[in-house]
Amino acid sequence: MTFSPLPDDARVLAVDVGGGTIKGELVDGQAGILSSAAWPTPPAESAVETISRMGRHLIDEVEVDGGGQVSRAGLVIPGFVDRDRGRGVYSGNIGWRQLDFGSALQSAWDVPVLVDHDVTIAGWAEWQVGAGRECDDMFFVALGTGVAAAIVAGGRLLRGGLSQGGEFGHVVVRPGGPVCSCGGSGCLEAVSSASAIARAYTASSGQPVEGAADVLDAMTADPVAVRVWEEALSALADGLVGVVNLLSPARIVLGGGLAASGDALVEPLRHAVAERVNVVPIPEIVPARFGRRAGVVGAGLLARRGGTGTDE
């Protein structure tokens, strides 16, 4: 589904559904945030109702303050997505199947709604207006609860046969390794995602942690934390080398929650990839401009432009 681009002064609603948090923003024509919210992501079918309430809250908040009407909404969701019908086909992390987001939310919000894949659109946003700008061959990696990617090659956003390319997290990097949510073992997501890092540290140290940030904090005094982090980066580098040899991207953009790790992630990863690449040019590796906000920024851009465009 596509629409014509909106006027420059139009206001749009942007919603990004993540594995743990739903982020929403209502933005004006200058990308100024007029209202925003972050709510926990509920399981399965209750996601539609929660997203509906969040969007209505953001719209009403602006209209009560005397703001203008919202012209369109963009929603980006994980898993497999039917863009044309606005449907979430399947999300293993959240547990939904065949949810009709587009029609339900259009009725609730009384505006047209575009639905697309979260990481594809986050990567597209980074390419259009972020850390991948003016780079026609880019690989975007979202490192968070899971691991996924978006691919730009020859100045085009690659969609693949399912309209979204980039299930990078299910590339096997450690055969016989940890069991992944997909049912396989040794997938990149089972080793290098934020949730996998937390699980590996808890299993090795016996000390429960809430997330990868706790492992990073422990690295100054805990060799177990250092070992877990280094193994996660080594596995990520192994996965990226396959991408580099196959696609030869000029730039790799690191997004998602783990990208906030800064030099603890970027510098060691640059070194590890450079050590492994022997044939093709070594790409730049840079953090995403929008960090955790890449998905919601992309949702707003999607709504404003009316789609990703035939040449994007």
Q: Is the pLDDT of residue 241 over 60?
A: yes
Q: Residues 69, 63: contact at Cβ < 8 Å?
A: yes
pLDDT of the residue at 33: 92
Q: Is the pLDDT of residue 311 over 50?
A: no
What burial class does residue 168 get, using C-beta atoms within 10 Å of its C-beta: 0-12 exposed, 13-18 middle, 19+ buried?
buried
Q: Which domains does the chain have, with CATH numbers?
A: 11-121+293-305 (3.30.420.40), 135-288 (3.30.420.40)
Does residue 251 or residue 31 have the better pLDDT? 251
How high does pLDDT run on average in the chain? Answer: 92
Which pTM value belongs to this model? 0.93
Confidence of residue 66 (pLDDT cuts 50, 70, 90): low
- What is the pLDDT averaged over residues 206-231? 95
Confidence of residue 29 (pLDDT cuts 50, 70, 90): confident
Beta strands, E only, the chain? 11-17, 21-27, 33-40, 70-77, 80-82, 87-91, 96-100, 113-117, 138-143, 147-153, 156-157, 251-255, 284-287
pLDDT (tens digit per residue) in 142-163: 998 889 999 999 999 998 877 6
- What is the pLDDT averaged over residues 106-124? 95
Tokens representing residue 274 in the block: 């450079």
pLDDT of the residue at 1: 73
pLDDT (tens digit per residue) in 244-276: 999 999 999 999 988 888 889 999 999 999 999
